[in-house]
Amino acid sequence: MFIEFRNYTTCIQSNNLDSIELALSRILELEGCRRISQPSQTLSKEKLRQTPWLLLRDLWIVGLFVSTQGWTIVKTEPSELLCRRARGATRPRLSQLAMQIGCNAFHFGAYGHHGILLEADAMGQTFISGSVDRIEEENQFYDEEINRRGRSQFFLLDVPEEIQAVMKPPSPEQQQEEERRLEELDMLIGTEEEPFDAQFEIAELLKGHYRRIDEALEPLLGGSPSYWYLYENLFYLAYTRQQQLAADGLRLLYFKPAEHYRQLNPLYEIDAQY
């Protein structure tokens, strides 16, 4: 079964984990969330793998680690937690966080053939470029209007050139060459002339633009060991491998959601409202 590539990553231009932890805790606690030291219940590995989203009513997790380039990488459950506004707020949490710690931050989400880039500077200004995979909200990213639809690019932040470069779309000539090569390989499959690595090359050519961006950002910002692809299994790892994560430098923060979030129906509202 084909599984569409997805990954969600927030990057903060600071390596001060203590400052980021303090600011995140303050932001969420002002919403009515409560910081806790450890998850409060023991769950089977099977349940953690199969239905982690059901846990969102009782537990939110934020994972922080410093990359090799001095940025801090943030992973959250619920996913894209920092891209959303608290109830009654006028700006997304990422904007609040950037202002509180006084530095730039961005969030990049890759959703198959769609992708979104949310930038936030130290003054709290934001800019959103790209597109989402929700037709009913094609001009919106949660509560924020998408400023520039189409390709994701940096318009607000002055990021290092190597990061800016990976966001550039392929040229028309490059696209044509990739399409030509794909057709050529397709004709060779099953023949004596089929290259030994044909299937691998086809898979590479079929990767979407946003997946390529995500994979190019990982060596620039991912760190070692990298938790860049810590997606969907954050609950599982937080419950089963806390000591290993800590040894690798990953700092986990746990929060009990505010009561008005806990009243949401997880089957229909939980992901949209957080």
What residues does each domain of the chain span? 6-152+221-273
Residue 269 clears pLDDT 60, i.e. is over it = no
Residue pair 130/152 in contact (Cβ under 8 Å)? The answer is: yes
The pLDDT assigned to 214 comes to 93
- Provide, rounded to the nearest whole percent, the portion of the chain with pLDDT above 70: 85
Considering the entire predicted model, what is its pTM? 0.86
Calculate the CA dihedral of residues 64, 67, 71, 72 and round it to 10 degrees.
0
Residue pair 136/47 in contact (Cβ under 8 Å)? The answer is: no
226-255 average pLDDT score: 85
Parallel, antiparallel or unpaired: strands 148-149 and 126-131: parallel
List of residues 6+ apart from 114 with CB closer than 8 A? 130, 131, 132, 133, 210
201-210 average pLDDT score: 75
Residue pair 143/158 in contact (Cβ under 8 Å)? The answer is: no
The pLDDT assigned to 132 comes to 86
The pLDDT assigned to 266 comes to 47
Determine phi and psi for 259, rounding to 5 degrees: -60, -35
Residue pair 226/249 in contact (Cβ under 8 Å)? The answer is: no
Phi-psi region of 208 (alpha: psi -120 to 50; beta: other; left: phi over 0): beta
Residue pair 127/151 in contact (Cβ under 8 Å)? The answer is: no
Give the best-scoring range by mean pLDDT among 74-88, 136-150, 213-227: 74-88
Q: Is 12 or 47 the better-scoring residue by pLDDT?
A: 12
Give the best-scoring range by mean pLDDT among 1-10, 92-101, 226-235: 92-101
Maximum separation of any 2 CA atoms in the chain, in Å: 66
Q: Is 184 or 178 the better-scoring residue by pLDDT?
A: 184
